[in-house]
Amino acid sequence: MLTMRKAATDEDFDLVRQVRMAIMPYERAPSVAEMRAAWTRDSLVLLVEEDGKLVGSGAADRSSISGAATVTPRVLPEFRRQGVGTRLLAHLWAHAATLGVAHVIAHTDDEGSRAFAERHGFTEVDRQVEQVRAIGAEPSPPPRTDVEVVTIAQRPDLWDVIYEGLAVQAFQDMALIAPMQATIAEWRTSWIGDPAAMFVALADGEPVGMAGLIADYDNPHRAENALTVVRRDWRGRGVAAHLKRLTLAHAAATGLTEVYTWTQRGNADMRRLNEHLGYATRLQSFTMRRPVAES
C-alpha cells in the first residue's frame, strides 16, 4: 500500500536525500544538517513509500522569490506514470496555498517532468542553464594591484558585511522572474560555502567582489560555484574573472575534477564569463509557475 508521511527524523531526511541523489545525480544534495538549518515553520517535507519501500519524496516551502512558494514532487523512475506524482503534488499544492502566496513555482530538469507540470497547470517562466568546467592544471592568476583577496576562512567577519554590501545588490540584479530575498539568517546557513574556498576582493578594506565553491561531500571530486557577485561600481573590470580563476586554482589544488554552476537564462553576462573561463553547457532546467488564484 502507498503511504505518505511527513519527514521528521534524521533517517527520514536521509531518505529524502536518497531520492534527490537518484533523480539528480549531477548536482550536490544538501546534507541532513543543511536541510534542518533551512527548515522553517512554512516547510513541509513528505516521504512516499510502498510497503516500506522508498517511492519518492516531496517538499513545499516559501520561495526565495518574493510572493511565491515552491513545490518539489519527486518520484523514483521505476514508480512513474502510476499517478504518484499527481497525489504528491496535490498535498504539496494544498500546503503551498496556505502560505499566502500569489504563485507556486516548480523546477523541472527534463521534458517528461515539464510535461507533468504543464498537465497540472504550470507554465514556463524562466530557464536555468547548467555550465560545467572540467578541472585540469589551473594556474593561480597573478595578483592584482587594485584589490586584495582574502578568504572567508581568513576573515569570517566579512560574511555579514558581504550580505549588506554585495549580496543584497546581487539579489536585486539577478535576472529572475521576481525579486529574490534571503534573510541574513539564511545567508549565514544556506549561502556560505567552503570558507577556505570563498574568495573576497577588498578595495580599501571593503568587499567589492566574491566568488567561491560549495563542497559536495557525497561526491568529493566536484563542487558547485557559490554566488558570484561584484559590487555595481566595480563591474566590468575583470574582478569576477579574477576571483573565479582563484576558485578554479583552489579546485585543482584540492583535487577536484569538476566545478559546475547554474545561471538564469537572462543573465548573459555571467554565462559569457563562464564560457570565457572554459565552462561548457550541460543541462537546462525549466522554472514553471502557476497562480494560486486558479486553484
Ligand X SMILES: CC(C)(COP(=O)(O)OP(=O)(O)OC[C@H]1O[C@@H](n2cnc3c(N)ncnc32)[C@H](O)[C@@H]1OP(=O)(O)O)[C@@H](O)C(=O)NCCC(=O)NCCS
Task: Determine the straight-line distance between the first and last CA of the chain, rounded to whole angstroms.
Answer: 28
Question: How far apart are alpha carbons 14 and 54 in whole angstroms?
Answer: 11
- Contact with ligand X (CB under 6 A) among 40, 82, 183, 284: 82
83 binds ligand X (CB under 6 A): yes
Instruction: Say how many C-beta atoms besides its own lie within 10 A of residue 110's C-beta.
Output: 13
Alpha-carbon separation of residue 178 from 13, 14, 125, 210 (angstroms): 30, 32, 10, 23
Contact region with ligand X (CB under 6 A), list: 1-9, 68-76, 200-208, 212-220: 68-76
Burial label, 169 (beta-carbon count in 10 A; 0-12, 13-18, 19+): middle
Q: Name 72's bridge partners.
A: 59
- Contact with ligand X (CB under 6 A) among 57, 63, 70, 108: 108
Cα 100 → chain centroid? 24
How many residues bind ligand X (CB under 6 A)? The answer is 21
Contact region with ligand X (CB under 6 A), list: 7-15, 37-45, 92-100, 102-110: 102-110
115 binds ligand X (CB under 6 A): yes
- Nearest approach in angstroms of CB 155 to ligand X is 39
127 binds ligand X (CB under 6 A): no
- Contact with ligand X (CB under 6 A) among 13, 116, 199, 279: 116
- Nearest approach in angstroms of CB 106 to ligand X is 4
Question: How far apart are alpha carbons 173 and 218 in whole angstroms?
Answer: 32
Helix/strand/coil percent split, the chain, to 5: 35, 30, 35
295 binds ligand X (CB under 6 A): no
- Nearest approach in angstroms of CB 55 to ligand X is 9
Instruction: Say how many C-beta atoms besides its own lie within 10 A of residue 98's C-beta.
Output: 12
- Nearest approach in angstroms of CB 116 to ligand X is 4
Contact region with ligand X (CB under 6 A), list: 112-120, 188-196, 205-213, 227-235: 112-120
The backbone torsions φ and ψ at residue 62, rounded to the nearest 5 degrees and listed phi first, read -70, 145
Q: Which parts of 4-63 interact with ligand X (CB under 6 A)?
A: 23
Question: How far apart are alpha carbons 178 and 135 in whole angstroms?
Answer: 34
Contact 102, 120 (CB under 8 A): no
Contact region with ligand X (CB under 6 A), list: 2-10, 71-79, 260-268, 275-283: 71-79
Q: Which residues contact 178 (CB under 8 A, 6 or more apart)?
A: 65, 66, 67, 68
- Contact with ligand X (CB under 6 A) among 45, 47, 48, 73: 73
- Pick 102 or 115: Cβ nearer ligand X: 115
- Contact with ligand X (CB under 6 A) among 5, 6, 119, 272: 119
The residue ranges that bind ligand X (CB under 6 A) are 23, 72-75, 80-86, 106, 108-109, 112-113, 115-117, 119
